[in-house]
Structure 1
Amino acid sequence: MATQATNALPAVHDVPRREVTGAWFLMFGYATLLTGMVWDGQWHGDVGPDDFWTAPHLLLYSGTGIIGLTCLTVVLLSTWARGPVTGTPSVTVFRTFRAPWPFLVGGLGASGNLLYAGADLWWHEVYGFDIAAGATPSHLGLGLSIQVEIFAMVMAFAVLRRTRAERWGLALAVGLATIGSTSAFGMVSELLFDWLPGLAPRVLGLGAAGALTLTLIVGLTRGWHWPAAAGLAFLGVQGALALFAPAATRWYADAIGQPMRDYAANAPQALIGFPATFPLIALVTGGVVAWAVRRGVSPIVITAGVGALVGVNTTLFYAALGMEMSLPVTLLAAVAAGAGTGWVSWQCAVMLRRFGVRTGAVAGAVTA
Structure 2
Amino acid sequence: MQTSLSPSSQLAKIPTYIYAVVFSSLCIVWGLLWDIMWHMSIGRDGLFAPPHLLMYVGAVVAGLFSGFKILQLTFARTNPERSVSVRFWGVFYGSLGAMYCVWGALTMLTSAPFDDWWHNTYGLDVQILTPPHTVLLIGMMTVQFGAMIGVLALQNRFSQTGLIDPSRAERPTRRLKIMFTVAAGLLLSILYTMLAEKMGSWASHHSSSYIAMSIAFPFYLLAVGRASSLRYPITITAAAYMLTMLIPSWILPLFPATPRLGPVLNPITHYQPFVFPLLLIVPGFVLDKLLHRFDHSPLNDWWLAALTGTAFVLMIIPVQWYFGGFLHTSPNAQNWFFLGSSMSYDTDPNWPYHHKFHPYWLEPLPDFLKGTGIALACAILSARVGLLWGNWMKRVQR
1:154 paired to 2:195? no
Q: Which residue in the other structure is 1:46 paired with?
A: 41
C-alpha contact 2:108 2:139 (8 A) present in aligned 1:
yes
C-alpha contact 1:88 1:355 (8 A) present in aligned 2:
no
User: Which one of 357, 378, 387 corresponds to residue 337 of structure 1?
Assistant: 378
Amino acid at match of 2:116: L
Q: Which residue in the other structure is 1:180 paired with?
A: 190
1:315-338 per-position Cα deviation (integer Å, ceiling 9, x unaligned): 552664558265334433333333
Relative distance call for 1:186 and 1:263 in structure 2 (3 A) is same
Q: Which residue in the other structure is 1:92 paired with?
A: 88
Q: Which stretch has the larger CA shift, 323-332 or 223-232?
A: 323-332
Q: Which residue in the other structure is 1:269 paired with?
A: 274
Amino acid at match of 1:27: V
Relative distance call for 1:218 and 1:122 in structure 2 (3 A) is same
Q: Using the TM superposition, give the Cα deviation of residue 185 of structure 1 relative to its aligned residue in structure 2, in angstroms.
A: 5.3
The equivalences for 1:135-150 within 5 A come to: 136-150=130-144
1:279-306 per-position Cα deviation (integer Å, ceiling 9, x unaligned): 1222222222223247543355435543
Q: Using the TM superposition, give the Cα deviation of residue 132 of structure 1 relative to its aligned residue in structure 2, in angstroms.
A: 2.6
Q: Which residue in the other structure is 1:279 paired with?
A: 281
Q: Using the TM superposition, give the Cα deviation of residue 241 of structure 1 relative to its aligned residue in structure 2, in angstroms.
A: 2.8
Aligned with 2:396: secondary structure?
Answer: helix
In 1, the alpha carbon distance for the partners of 2:225 and 2:73 equals 30
C-alpha contact 2:181 2:236 (8 A) present in aligned 1:
yes
In 1, the alpha carbon distance for the partners of 2:8 and 2:370 equals 45
1:64 paired to 2:59? yes
Relative distance call for 1:114 and 1:330 in structure 2 (3 A) is farther
User: Which one of 103, 110, 125 corresponds to residue 131 of structure 1?
Assistant: 125
- Structure-1-length-normalised TM-score: 0.76
User: With CA pairs under 8 Å and 6+ residues apart, which has the higher RCO, 1 or 2?
Assistant: 1
Relative distance call for 1:329 and 1:15 in structure 2 (3 A) is farther
C-alpha contact 1:312 1:331 (8 A) present in aligned 2:
no
- Structure-2-length-normalised TM-score: 0.71
Amino acid at match of 1:149: V
| Aligned positions, number | 328
C-alpha contact 2:37 2:273 (8 A) present in aligned 1:
yes
Identity %: 17
Q: Using the TM superposition, give the Cα deviation of residue 166 of structure 1 relative to its aligned residue in structure 2, in angstroms.
A: 0.8
User: Which one of 99, 110, 121 corresponds to residue 116 of structure 2?
Assistant: 121
Q: Using the TM superposition, give the Cα deviation of residue 215 of structure 1 relative to its aligned residue in structure 2, in angstroms.
A: 0.7
Q: Using the TM superposition, give the Cα deviation of residue 170 of structure 1 relative to its aligned residue in structure 2, in angstroms.
A: 0.9
The equivalences for 1:273-312 within 5 A come to: 274-275=277-278, 277-293=279-295, 296-303=298-305, 305-311=307-313
Bigger radius of gyration, 1 or 2?
2
1:35-81 per-position Cα deviation (integer Å, ceiling 9, x unaligned): 01011112222333323332112212221122211221121112123
Relative distance call for 1:290 and 1:199 in structure 2 (3 A) is closer
Relative distance call for 1:111 and 1:167 in structure 2 (3 A) is same
C-alpha contact 1:212 1:342 (8 A) present in aligned 2:
yes
Relative distance call for 1:72 and 1:242 in structure 2 (3 A) is same
Amino acid at match of 2:176: E
Aligned with 1:181: secondary structure?
Answer: helix
Q: Using the TM superposition, give the Cα deviation of residue 21 of structure 1 relative to its aligned residue in structure 2, in angstroms.
A: 2.4
Q: Which stretch has the larger CA shift, 145-154 or 317-326?
A: 317-326
In 2, the alpha carbon distance for the partners of 1:225 and 1:12 equals 29
In 2, the alpha carbon distance for the partners of 1:118 and 1:311 equals 41
Q: Which residue in the other structure is 1:363 paired with?
A: none
In 2, the alpha carbon distance for the partners of 1:135 and 1:293 equals 36
Cα root mean square deviation, aligned: 3.4
Q: Using the TM superposition, give the Cα deviation of residue 108 of structure 1 relative to its aligned residue in structure 2, in angstroms.
A: 1.1
1:338-360 per-position Cα deviation (integer Å, ceiling 9, x unaligned): 3222212222222222223xx5x
Q: Which residue in the other structure is 1:194 paired with?
A: none
Aligned with 2:128: secondary structure?
Answer: coil
Amino acid at match of 1:91: R
Q: Which stretch has the larger CA shift, 238-247 or 337-346?
A: 238-247
Q: Which residue in the other structure is 2:369 paired with?
A: 328
Relative distance call for 1:26 and 1:85 in structure 2 (3 A) is closer
C-alpha contact 1:219 1:346 (8 A) present in aligned 2:
yes
User: Which one of 171, 187, 192 corresponds to residue 181 of structure 2?
Assistant: 171
Aligned with 1:306: secondary structure?
Answer: helix
Q: Using the TM superposition, give the Cα deviation of residue 119 of structure 1 relative to its aligned residue in structure 2, in angstroms.
A: 0.5
Amino acid at match of 2:217: G
In 1, the alpha carbon distance for the partners of 2:281 and 2:184 equals 12
In 2, the alpha carbon distance for the partners of 1:47 and 1:313 equals 38
The equivalences for 1:97-108 within 5 A come to: 97-108=92-103
In 2, the alpha carbon distance for the partners of 1:285 and 1:353 equals 18
Runs of 5+ consecutive residues of structure 1 not aligned to the other structure:
1-10, 191-197, 360-368
1:219 paired to 2:223? no
C-alpha contact 2:95 2:150 (8 A) present in aligned 1:
no
C-alpha contact 2:215 2:375 (8 A) present in aligned 1:
yes
C-alpha contact 1:210 1:310 (8 A) present in aligned 2:
no
Relative distance call for 1:352 and 1:286 in structure 2 (3 A) is closer
